[in-house]
Amino acid sequence: MNHWHFILGAYGVTLIAIVIEAIAVRMRHRAALAQSDPDRTR
């Protein structure tokens, strides 16, 4: 009993979720930096 599609589904969704979170949190930090920069042109 191998069921590789279940294994791929588990690992695939996990990887996608982790990558999305990592990218989102970096983007949030960069946005916060940009908002706080006194030299930022509006």
CA 20 to CA 15: how far, in whole Å? 9
Which pair of tokens denotes residue 23? 């990218």
Instruction: Work out whether 23 is an interface residue with another protein (CB under 8 A).
Output: no
Based on CB atoms, which residue is closest to another protein, 4 or 42? Answer: 4
Angstrom distance (rounded) from CA 34 to CA 18:
24
17 part of the interface to another protein, by CB under 8 A: yes
The CA distance from 10 to 3, in Å, is 11
CB nearer to another protein: pick between 34 and 41: 34
Query: Can residue 18 be called a binding residue for another protein (CB under 8 A)?
Result: yes
42 binds another protein (CB under 8 A): no
